Amino acid sequence: MLALMAPSVVFVCFLFALPIVLFLFRAIDNAEIPEALPRTTAAIAEWREGELPPEPVYAALVSDLAALRGTPQLALLARRLNYAIPGFRGVVTRTGRLLPQSMPESPKAALIAIDATWADPAAWGVLRQQSGKVTDFYLLSALDLKRDPSGSVVDVDRDHAIFVDLYGRTLTVSIGVTLLCVAIGYPVAAVMAQATPAAANWLLMAILVPFWTSLLVRSTAWVILLQNEGLVNKTLIWLGAIDAPLALVFNRTGVYIAMVHVLLPYMILPLYSVMKGISPSHLRAAASLGASPVRVFFTVYLPLTMPGVAAGATLVFVSAVGFYVTPALVGGPRDQMIGYFIAYFTNSAVNWGLASALGAFLLVLVAATYLVLGKLVGFERLKVR
Amino acid sequence: MNGSAASPLVRFSNVSKSYDGRTRVVCDLDLDIARGEFLTLLGPSGSGKTTTLMMLAGFEAPTVGTILLDGKDITHLPPHKRGIGVVFQNYALFPHMSVADNVAYPLKVRGVEAADIKKRVDAALDMVKLGGFGTRRPAQLSGGQQQRVAFARALVFEPELVLLDEPLGALDKQLRERMQDELKQLHRRIGVTMVYVTHDQSEALTMSDRVAVFNEGRIQQLAPPGLLYEAPESLFVAEFVGENNRLEGNVVGEEPGGLRIRLVDGTTLLSGARQGLAVGTPVVVSIRPERIEIDGADTPNRLPAVVDRTIFHGDSMRIVLRLASGTELVVKLPNARSARIAANGTGVQACFGAADCRIFPKQVS
C-alpha cells in the first residue's frame, strides 16, 4: 500500500508542495539587501530615527557600495531599493559610479555631495526598515499598504493603489462566471441526463470537443468572433437587431463570454454525473405523492443535485480565480485578473517578491472560498464524484 | 357512475401500450379492480405487468384505450392529480429528508396544517411499527425498515388505491415472508385497495384476493389464488404458478372417467375431462408434484419409473423419478414420510388420479 503510494507522494512533495512553499517564502524573503550591504545593515541598527545617521553608517555604506562597484549585484540592489523608495535606482547607481576610490575624510559629506537623497532621514528610515532578513514589504504592497518612515502601516497613494481593486475584480469576475456557468450548465446537464443514450452521447461530444481544444485557440477564436467586424456583430446587423456593432471584446463582456465558454464543461460534467445518478423513481414517487412538477423540482430534484452544483461551482470558481490567458486576450486593460499581474511581476518586472505575495493572497482567497462554501453547503457535498 | 360498492374502483378498457409503435407491451387489456381487494399482477419480466401498473399510476400513457378511476376518466391525468399511493421496488425514499419528513411530504404538498401533519405522521409510523424513528435518515435504516417507511408514506394521505411495484423484491427471503404477512394484515386492517406487481408466484398466492397472470402483454387468467393453482386455464399458467410436471402425448380416446392419453413412450394414462380435444390432438399433461404418490393404492394411473435422485428441502423432499421415455417426474413428499423413501435406482410406480392431470393442447411453435 505505502509502496504503491510512494511515487505519487514523492512527486507531490518535491514537485508541488515544496516549490509552492519556496515560492511563498519569496514573499517575505529579504536576503538581497543584507547580503549586498552587510556593513550598512549592521551599523544602521544603532541609528535613532528623526535625524541623519552618524558618520560610521555613511562610512559603512561607502565601503559596501565600493565592494559592489562593477558587479551585477549593484544593479540588483538598485532595483530592489527602487521598489521601496521610487527613484532610488538612479540614486544607488549614480552613487556607486561617482564614489571616490578611497574612503573620503567625511563619508557623509561625500555621499550627500553625490546625491542629496542621502541627506533625507526618510530615505534612511526606509533603508533601515528593509535591512532585516525578512520583510513584510511585499505582503503590504500586495494589499496597497506601505510603512511610512516612522514604521507605521499606511495606505499607498491612490494613484499607486491597484491591488485591492484587483482582488475585488478577480472575485467579481469569478463569482459572475460561476453563476453564469450554473445558470447555463444546469439546464444543459439536466437535458443530457434525461436524454436517450444516443442523444446524450452527442451532447457529451459537443461539450468535450471544445474542452479538448487548446485554451489559447478558443480564446483567440472568441476575439475573431466578437470583434466589431466579427461574425456575431455582422450577423446581428444583418438580422437588423442592431445598427452599430456592439463592443463585445476587449472589455468585461468579452471576458465573461470567453471564460464562461471555457469553464462550462467543468460545471456540466460533475452536474451531469450527479443527475445521472438520481433515480427516476424518486421523481415519480414525489409526483405520486401529489407534488406538481415545479414542486418536485424544488423539493426533490434540486436538493438531490446540490452536490453536483457545489462540486461544479467549486471547480469553476477555483479555476476562474486563477485565469490568465483568456482575460489577457479578450479583456481590456481594466479587466485583467490577479493571474495577469502575477505573470507580469514574474516575467516582465522580475519582482518575484511581489509576485509571490500576490500568489499567497490568491491562495488565501481560494482557501477562504472553499471554507465558506464548505460551511454553507457541507464539505461532503464538495466532493467530485 | 358514483362510488357505490358495486362499481369497480378501477376499470381498464381496451388499453394497449406500445413504446415503438410496432410491438405492443400491453395488448387489449380489459380489467376491473374491485374496491378493497388485493389484486396481484403476476408475470415474468417483460409481460406488461409493470407497464400496466405505471399506466395506472400515470407515469406512462396508454397508446389506446381508457382507464377509469372511480368512474372518472384518468387516462391522461398527470400522476400528481390522481391521489394514488405508489410504493417502489427500490423504496424511493428521499435521501435528503428525515423519515418523518418523507412521510410528511404528501401531507405538506396537500397543505395540511403542521400540527395535524405531526399527528398523522406519528400515527402512520406507528402503524408500520417505526414509531420513534422519525428523526433518522433513510440511509440509517435497514432495507425492511425503509420499505415500511415507503408504505407509511404511500398510506399517510389515505389514498383509495395503493400500487406496489415489487416492493419486497430487494429483501432477503425470511424478511420478505414476514413483510408479506405484515402487508396482508395492513391491507385487512385499513381496507384500502391494493394492486401489487410481482414475478414471484408464491408471493402472489400468499397475499392476493385475486391474481392476474400476465404473459406477452395479455392477461392469461384472472382468478383467486386457489382456483389459479387448482384449475389453471392454460399451460402457461399451470407452469408459471406452482411447481409442475409436464408429460407430452396424444389423445387416443374418450372414456367415462375422462380422456385416454398415450404418452410418447407408449404408456397411456387417464386424465380429467376437457372439452374440444379431438382424438389425435397432441397435448401436454400437467401434474402437480404433491399429487403424485409413490407405489400408492387404487389410482387409475400407475406409471413405472426408477428413482433417480432425492432432493432434501427441509420441510419436504423432492424425489425425482425417471420414466422409461427418459422424462423426469418430480414427486413432492412432506418430510414426515421421508423415512419410507426408496433408494436411488429402485423401480417404483408413480401413482396419481385422473383429476390430478390437467391437459392442455400442445402449442405449435
Chain B interface test: which of A274, A289, A305 (most B C-beta within 10 Å): A289
Cell of B273: 375431462
| pLDDT attached to residue B337 | 58
- Mean pLDDT in residue range A189-208: 92
Candidates B28, B73, B34, B35; CA nearest to B52 is B28
pLDDT band of residue B3 (cuts 50, 70, 90) is very low
| pLDDT attached to residue A379 | 66
Please give the Cα distance from A85 to A127 (Å, whole number).
Answer: 9
pLDDT band of residue A385 (cuts 50, 70, 90) is very low
| pLDDT attached to residue A239 | 92
Of A285, A293, A304, the CB nearest to B88: A285
- Mean pLDDT in residue range A209-234: 90
CA distance B61 to chain A (A): 14
pLDDT band of residue A132 (cuts 50, 70, 90) is confident
Q: What does pLDDT average to over chain B? A: 89
Q: How far apart are the first and last CA of chain B?
A: 45
- How many CA within 13 A on the CB side of residue B66? 7
Please give the Cα distance from B103 to A61 (Å, whole number).
Answer: 83
Cell of B311: 432432493
Q: Going by C-beta distance under 8 Å and a sequence separation of 6 or more, which residues neighbour residue B350?
A: B292, B293, B294, B301, B302, B303, B304, B305, B321, B323, B329, B331
- Single-letter amino acid, residue B99: V
Question: Are B143 and B176 spatial neighbours (Cβ–Cβ below 8 Å)?
Answer: no
Angle at B218 between CA B181 and CA A289, to 5 degrees: 50
- Mean pLDDT in residue range B335-343: 67
Give the sheet arrangement for strand B210-215, strand by strand: B85-87, B161-165, B193-198, B38-42, B210-215, B218-223
Please give the Cα distance from A64 to A58 (Å, whole number).
Answer: 10
- Mean pLDDT in residue range A251-276: 93
Most confident segment among A377-381, B2-6, B12-16: B12-16
Question: Are A271 and A309 spatial neighbours (Cβ–Cβ below 8 Å)?
Answer: yes
- A142 secondary structure, DSSP code: T
The answer to whether A279 faces chain B, any CB pair under 8 Å, is yes
| pLDDT attached to residue A172 | 93
Residue B22 has pLDDT above 90, yes or no: no
CB contact under 8 A, B79 and A303: no
- Inter-CA distances, A282 with A28, A227, B79, B186, B306, Å: 55, 47, 13, 24, 55
Computed on alpha carbons and rounded to an integer, the radius of gyration of chain A in Å comes to 29
Between A252 and A45, whose confidence is greater? A252
- Inter-CA distances, A188 with A104, A182, A191, B214, Å: 79, 10, 5, 40
Q: Of A31-35, A59-63, A100-104, which gets the smallest average pLDDT?
A: A100-104
A290-349 pLDDT per residue, tens? 999 999 999 999 999 988 998 899 899 989 998 998 999 999 888 999 999 999 999 988
Residue B17 has pLDDT above 90, yes or no: yes
Domain chopping of chain A, boundaries: 31-132, 163-382
Angle at A262 between CA A261 and CA A268, to 5 degrees: 75
Candidates B303, B314, B309, B313; CA nearest to B342 is B309
Q: What does pLDDT average to over chain A? A: 88
Dihedral angle sign, alpha carbons of residues B238, B243, B245, B248: positive
Tell me the chain A residues in contact with residue B86 when contact means C-beta distances shorter than 8 Å: 284-285, 288
| pLDDT attached to residue A53 | 85
pLDDT band of residue A383 (cuts 50, 70, 90) is low
- Mean pLDDT in residue range A189-218: 91
How many angstroms from the chain centroid is the CA of residue A346?
11
- How many CA within 13 A on the CB side of residue B99? 28
Candidates B240, B245, B216, B219; CA nearest to B229 is B240
Residue B160 has pLDDT above 70, yes or no: yes
Helix (H) or strand (E) holding B15: strand B10-18
Among the four given CATH numbers 1.10.8.60, 3.30.930.10, 1.10.3720.10, 2.30.30.30, the one describing domain A163-382: 1.10.3720.10
The answer to whether B157 faces chain A, any CB pair under 8 Å, is yes
CA distance B290 to chain A (A): 41
Please give the Cα distance from A309 to A187 (Å, whole number).
Answer: 12
| pLDDT attached to residue B6 | 66
CA distance B118 to chain A (A): 17
Angle at B285 between CA B281 and CA B291, to 5 degrees: 155
The answer to whether B96 faces chain A, any CB pair under 8 Å, is yes
Residue B84 has pLDDT above 90, yes or no: yes
Residue B158: count other Cβ atoms within 10 Å of its Cβ.
12
